[in-house]
Chains A and B, each alone.
Chain A
Amino acid sequence: MSKLIIDDREIEVSPGTKVIEAAAQLGIMIPRFCYHPALGSVGACRVCAVKFIQGPFKGVQMSCMIDAQDGMVVSTTDEDVADFRRHVIEWLMLHHPHDCPVCDEGGHCLLQDMTVSGGHGIRRYLGKKRTYTDQFLGPLLQHEMNRCIHCYRCSRFYQEYSGYRDLGAMQSANRTYFGRFTDGILESPFSGNLSDICPTGVYTDKPSRYFGRRWDYQRSPSLCINCSLGCHTVASIKYREVKRQEARFSEPVNGYFICDRGRYGFFYSSLESRPRMARINGKQCTFNQAQHAMIEKLEEIKKNSGSAAIAAVGSLRSSLETLVMLAQLCQTKRWRDPACFIDSSQVQNVKTAISRLEPQLRVSLRDIERADFILAVGADPINEAPMLALAMRQAQRNGATIVVIDPRPVSLPFPFLYLPAAPMALSAYLGSLIKAVVNRGTADKMGDGARKFYDRIPEGKKLAEAQPPLSSEMLQSLQQSRRPIIVCGTEILSETVLSLSADFALLLQAAEKQAGLFYLMPGANAFAGGILSGEKDSFLQIIEQIEDGSIRALISVEADPFWWFDDRPRLERALDKIDLLVVLDYLDSQAAQRANIFIPTATFYESGGMLINQEGRVQVAPRALLGGIPISQAGGGDHPPRLYDVGIAGFDPKAAWLTLADLANGAAQEDEKALQQHLWKQISDLIPQLATFSSIDEIPQEGIVCSCGVNIDSRFSINWSAASNIRHDSGDDFDLIEVDWTFGTEELSSLSPCLWKLERKPCLVMHSGRAEIIGLTDVDLVEISTETGSLEAELRTADNMAPGILVLPRHRKLAWQIFTPGKIRIRKDQIRKKQ
């Protein structure tokens, strides 16, 4: 530790801490433009100057460039440095336009703050200002280069930090220009962060342009529900709508940044098409009417067909409150247990992941940045959880080797070693990796189970058949690594691979490595869904039971099976068959449109609540706004109508769990506080780690990592003979895998108009060699026919993928729901070129 004095106050900091950071720990904000904790120091802007009075350095120096050391005495307020900084700011302001009153950054502009606080009040420069031509950078960011002060934060973030290569610094000196080679949409799915890190208004948020100053917004901490990582955001609300979202710092989760899917994925919450009124058989009615009708109808069905004829579907985008209340409702009413997952393999995968996330194994996104070896198995970070890719990029920049074993053509913004492996071959690869880096003695240390597990790893021949083989580079860097992490997706793998990854991580720990395990999950609250679901609770099971007549009523809570169920005609037939479909949602989903009774619910912004991310971290977001129809819609661009009415128009929706509580109690409940307390009790019973808190408000900002569901008995229990049974790729048919893309496949962000232009054209992806054999080429229009229907899409071919695989994005523009749920095999004669 180094002890130093800054502005007459002593502070002790860890070695390697820069003086600017040491001061920050004392609450002293030294001015900065180029310095950013995530980007590090470059000493370019010269505005963080301080005076070193005693110690190894003397005089005016840049505080971002010097490590805090013992015996330093530093002044940030000395007359010399204040004068120095005032002059630096004056230089930086030479060409800066006087457009603060019309600039969107005005009010939260670092340059504005520094100019005022630095004491540069009157402009002395009378010459002609340098001007630039701005570029079109896509629908998310507005470019205004004249405001630039050349701090290089944008190009450093864009190229060095996130690894994209289409925005940078051109020209030199006073003419330096930050932009692209030509106008065009920025390629990085992290581009929105430029508006956060630019210290002035060169990049401003385009969708919320000219809508308000920062102080006009109600700014509220929130959480992202567009993937399972649970990144922290700040929601900015004005005139009853979420208008902008920014990254909120979180040490263990997202750091300083968020991805564009999360940043711009909020538009669903204030769409004009969002249903604000309850409906009975498509006709609008009051909230109470719908609620009465729902209670009545359900009673009727219970009387005629028994409680077990009622089933409920939960959703992975619902809050923990809603999921817990739904589970409780089903229990007290003796309905079927709610299903949150599509089929049994999905629920089993998530449950396996939860049971294997032992406290000593699980790691956060921050730990991933510090890893020196990352093995990603069946995970496509940039498409499934973009911020994971950004964390892996940091590890790679620090010298980590990244190995990706996946059937898909994975692309990442950094170099990595890639093995195109069929999902069936993944356990074989993991087996040979274990054999290569862990010896029997190490396995023995973990006990009998581990030794037997190790001994049963099939030797030689079978593993050798896994093609292509592991390279010596992969093995060597894993052997030499100190902090290896295994990243594992839960979407396209079998639970065996998930288990095996955890066993592998355990063995690596036994081999004295600080190994970690990181799972991705299929939704924002999949972890909670997994805890609350039984092994067999799946939507497919509900469909089967509707088909055999045992289920007569379905309640769908914030879930739209039309979005994710594989077989659309079968779903429609099933829904036609039941007596009652109740839908609670904030989206105008297809299920909502078909509902006999529809009850609007509040979005996560309007209800707040808890989410459990894929790491098991229970996080809380407060309510960010009350709700109601946005003024822009109520007033049609003008002042909203003056209605003599109580309440706010469109204020009907309430949190889904409240409606469910009413349903559980048979009538509308008045005392929301009491309900909340009751629910909190339920939740803290479910998650023991929460028992130390008396209410939701006490949960710390970085959340509480829970380990409910962990089962150490499931260690080393996989069945090798089944796992190593590699199906030989006959070359005649394909395993279809349905995948996520960064944009266009996720339910909520697909409703953001500004993201539509960023979507890639939906396409099927096939190995180029295989395509050639069946007479198809790149960009052919193809048709896939099944018993259920047909799907038309463009075919793209790729060399870097497993040959026996056909990749299908669940894209909003494709009517892809024509398959039988479960493992989908497509024969080559089912694929045909369209003329």
Chain B
Amino acid sequence: MLPKELRESLKDHIANIDHPRELAVDVMFTLQDHYGYLSDEAVKEAAELLEMTPLEVDEIATFYTFVYREPVGKYVIHVCDSVICWMDGYESIKDCLCTKLAINVGETTADGLFTLLPVCCIGYCDMSPAMLINRKVYGHLNPEKIDSILEKLKAEA
């Protein structure tokens, strides 16, 4: 269940807008931040708040890479899987991440720390190959750099 204050603040926000549907993504992100991912329950809550059906919310939720419909790790790594990064060695970056984390793309490490997801262009072509971890961008990647980033995050966790 959503805490009362959060629900009320979302309701207020929605009440101030002509077409509640416009806020679908914002509401989904808020619920995702609260639950860690957009659970089925969260989809139903979002639907109720937005006067949409759960299906209509799910249509949007499943379309977007940054809305997680399954539980994810503490750090979600979005490794860029688009043209410029392909030219600059995406394959080896992806392989390197997979080996170091011992998971495949789309999976979460056993300790629940990292989830690895491909994303089609994050707009940092100038820093390619690039990735996002919890909305922070890391560019000009190479195996050493990845090592240090992962170590740092592990230490912080």
Most buried by A among B53, B55, B56, B62: B55
Contact B63 A181 (CB under 8 A): no
Tell me the minimal C-beta distance from B68 to chain A in angstroms.
Answer: 13
| B54 interface hit (Cβ, 8 Å) | yes
| B58 interface hit (Cβ, 8 Å) | yes
Contact B63 A167 (CB under 8 A): no
| A812 interface hit (Cβ, 8 Å) | no
Tell me the minimal C-beta distance from A683 to chain B in angstroms.
Answer: 49
| A293 interface hit (Cβ, 8 Å) | no
Contact A166 B55 (CB under 8 A): yes
| B59 interface hit (Cβ, 8 Å) | yes
User: Given the complex of chains A and B, what is the CA–CA distance between A172 and B59 in angstroms?
Assistant: 9
Residues of B within 8 A of A177 (CB): 62
Determine which of A169, A172, A181 lies in contact with B43 in the assembled complex, contact meaning CB atoms within 8 Å.
A181
Residues of B within 8 A of A171 (CB): 62-63
User: Given the complex of chains A and B, what is the CA–CA distance between A182 and B62 in angstroms?
Assistant: 14
Tell me the minimal C-beta distance from A790 to chain B in angstroms.
Answer: 39
- Beyond the given A168-B59, A170-B55, A171-B62, could you list 17 further A-B residue pairs with CB under 8 A, ordered by the A residue number? A165-B53, A165-B55, A165-B56, A166-B53, A166-B55, A167-B55, A168-B56, A169-B59, A170-B62, A170-B63, A171-B63, A181-B43, A181-B54, A181-B55, A181-B58, A182-B40, A182-B54
User: Given the complex of chains A and B, what is the CA–CA distance between A165 and B21 in angstroms?
Assistant: 14
Interface residues of B (CB under 8 A from A): 40, 43, 52-56, 58-59, 62-63
Q: Could you give, for residues 572-609 of chain A, a 1 whenever the CB lies within 8 Å of some chain B CB and a 0 otherwise?
A: 00000000000000000000000000000000000000
The chain A residue sitting closest to B120, CB to CB, is A173
Tell me the minimal C-beta distance from A99 to chain B in angstroms.
Answer: 26
Most buried by B among A165, A167, A180, A181: A181
Tell me the minimal C-beta distance from B58 to chain A in angstroms.
Answer: 5
The chain A residue sitting closest to B56, CB to CB, is A165
Contact B63 A172 (CB under 8 A): yes
The chain A residue sitting closest to B52, CB to CB, is A165
Task: Find residues 245-276 in chain A having any chain B CB closer than 8 Å to their own CB.
Answer: none
Report, nearest first, the 10 A-B pairs whose CB atoms are least far apart.
Answer: A181-B54, A165-B53, A181-B55, A170-B62, A171-B62, A172-B63, A168-B59, A181-B58, A168-B55, A166-B55
The chain B residue sitting closest to A158, CB to CB, is B55
User: Given the complex of chains A and B, what is the CA–CA distance between A165 and B62 in angstroms?
Assistant: 16
Can you spell out 15 A-B residue pairs with CB atoms less than 8 angstroms apart?
A165-B52, A165-B53, A165-B55, A165-B56, A166-B55, A168-B56, A170-B58, A170-B62, A171-B62, A171-B63, A172-B63, A180-B55, A181-B54, A181-B55, A182-B54
User: Given the complex of chains A and B, what is the CA–CA distance between A140 and B56 in angstroms?
Assistant: 23
How many A-B residue pairs lie within 8 Å, measured between CB atoms?
29
Residues of B within 8 A of A181 (CB): 43, 53-55, 58
Task: Find residues 165-204 in chain A having any chain B CB closer than 8 Å to their own CB.
Answer: 165-172, 177, 180-182
Tell me the minimal C-beta distance from A171 to chain B in angstroms.
Answer: 4
Residues of B within 8 A of A168 (CB): 55-56, 59
Q: Is the interface of A mostly helix, strand, loop or mixed?
A: loop
Residues of B within 8 A of A165 (CB): 52-53, 55-56
Q: Could you give, for residues 138-179 of chain A, a 1 whenever the CB lies within 8 Å of some chain B CB and a 0 otherwise?
A: 000000000000000000000000000111111110000100
User: Given the complex of chains A and B, what is the CA–CA distance between A166 and B55 in angstroms?
Assistant: 6
Residues of A within 8 A of B63 (CB): 170-172
User: Given the complex of chains A and B, what is the CA–CA distance between A172 and B58 in angstroms?
Assistant: 12
The chain B residue sitting closest to A171, CB to CB, is B62
User: Given the complex of chains A and B, what is the CA–CA distance between A165 and B47 in angstroms?
Assistant: 12
The chain B residue sitting closest to A179, CB to CB, is B55
User: Given the complex of chains A and B, what is the CA–CA distance between A170 and B61 in angstroms?
Assistant: 8
User: Given the complex of chains A and B, what is the CA–CA distance between A79 and B110 in angstroms?
Assistant: 56
Residues of B within 8 A of A169 (CB): 59
Residues of A within 8 A of B56 (CB): 165, 168
The chain B residue sitting closest to A165, CB to CB, is B53
Tell me the minimal C-beta distance from B44 to chain A in angstroms.
Answer: 8
Residues of B within 8 A of A170 (CB): 55, 58-59, 62-63
Residues of A within 8 A of B58 (CB): 170, 181
Tell me the minimal C-beta distance from A226 to chain B in angstroms.
Answer: 28
Residues of B within 8 A of A180 (CB): 55
Residues of A within 8 A of B53 (CB): 165-166, 181
The chain B residue sitting closest to A177, CB to CB, is B62
User: Given the complex of chains A and B, what is the CA–CA distance between A171 and B67 in angstroms?
Assistant: 11
Residues of A within 8 A of B54 (CB): 181-182
Tell me the minimal C-beta distance from B119 to chain A in angstroms.
Answer: 12
Residues of A within 8 A of B43 (CB): 181
Tell me the minimal C-beta distance from A100 to chain B in angstroms.
Answer: 30
Q: Could you give, for residues 632-654 of chain A, a 1 whenever the CB lies within 8 Å of some chain B CB and a 0 otherwise?
A: 00000000000000000000000
Residues of B within 8 A of A166 (CB): 53, 55
Tell me the minimal C-beta distance from A176 to chain B in angstroms.
Answer: 9
Tell me the minimal C-beta distance from B54 to chain A in angstroms.
Answer: 4
The chain B residue sitting closest to A170, CB to CB, is B62
Tell me the minimal C-beta distance from A208 to chain B in angstroms.
Answer: 27
Residues of B within 8 A of A172 (CB): 62-63
Tell me the minimal C-beta distance from B60 to chain A in angstroms.
Answer: 9
Tell me the minimal C-beta distance from B69 to chain A in angstroms.
Answer: 9
User: Given the complex of chains A and B, what is the CA–CA distance between A22 and B43 in angstroms?
Assistant: 45
User: Given the complex of chains A and B, what is the CA–CA distance between A170 and B55 in angstroms?
Assistant: 8
The chain A residue sitting closest to B65, CB to CB, is A172
User: Given the complex of chains A and B, what is the CA–CA distance between A181 and B47 in angstroms?
Assistant: 11
Tell me the minimal C-beta distance from A811 to chain B in angstroms.
Answer: 27
Tell me the minimal C-beta distance from A168 to chain B in angstroms.
Answer: 5
User: Given the complex of chains A and B, what is the CA–CA distance between A611 and B101 in angstroms?
Assistant: 72
User: Given the complex of chains A and B, what is the CA–CA distance between A170 and B40 in angstroms?
Assistant: 14
Residues of A within 8 A of B62 (CB): 170-172, 177
Task: Find residues 695-725 in chain A having any chain B CB closer than 8 Å to their own CB.
Answer: none
Most buried by A among B43, B52, B54: B54
User: Given the complex of chains A and B, what is the CA–CA distance between A172 and B61 in angstroms?
Assistant: 10
The chain B residue sitting closest to A175, CB to CB, is B62
User: Given the complex of chains A and B, what is the CA–CA distance between A181 and B54 in angstroms?
Assistant: 6
Residues of B within 8 A of A182 (CB): 40, 54
User: Given the complex of chains A and B, what is the CA–CA distance between A172 and B53 in angstroms?
Assistant: 19
User: Given the complex of chains A and B, what is the CA–CA distance between A177 and B63 in angstroms?
Assistant: 10
User: Given the complex of chains A and B, what is the CA–CA distance between A826 and B67 in angstroms?
Assistant: 55
Tell me the minimal C-beta distance from A259 to chain B in angstroms.
Answer: 21
The chain B residue sitting closest to A172, CB to CB, is B63
Tell me the minimal C-beta distance from B153 to chain A in angstroms.
Answer: 29
User: Given the complex of chains A and B, what is the CA–CA distance between A177 and B59 in angstroms?
Assistant: 9
User: Given the complex of chains A and B, what is the CA–CA distance between A182 and B47 in angstroms?
Assistant: 14
The chain B residue sitting closest to A180, CB to CB, is B55
Tell me the minimal C-beta distance from B61 to chain A in angstroms.
Answer: 8
Residues of B within 8 A of A167 (CB): 55
Tell me the minimal C-beta distance from A83 to chain B in angstroms.
Answer: 27
Most buried by A among B56, B59, B62: B59
User: Given the complex of chains A and B, what is the CA–CA distance between A422 and B69 in angstroms?
Assistant: 48
Residues of A within 8 A of B52 (CB): 165
The chain A residue sitting closest to B60, CB to CB, is A170
Tell me the minimal C-beta distance from A13 to chain B in angstroms.
Answer: 36
User: Given the complex of chains A and B, what is the CA–CA distance between A182 and B43 in angstroms?
Assistant: 11
User: Given the complex of chains A and B, what is the CA–CA distance between A177 and B69 in angstroms?
Assistant: 14
User: Given the complex of chains A and B, what is the CA–CA distance between A171 and B58 in angstroms?
Assistant: 8
Tell me the minimal C-beta distance from B42 to chain A in angstroms.
Answer: 12
Tell me the minimal C-beta distance from A254 to chain B in angstroms.
Answer: 27
Tell me the minimal C-beta distance from A185 to chain B in angstroms.
Answer: 14
User: Given the complex of chains A and B, what is the CA–CA distance between A167 and B62 in angstroms?
Assistant: 14
User: Given the complex of chains A and B, what is the CA–CA distance between A169 and B40 in angstroms?
Assistant: 17
The chain B residue sitting closest to A155, CB to CB, is B59
User: Given the complex of chains A and B, what is the CA–CA distance between A146 and B126 in angstroms?
Assistant: 40
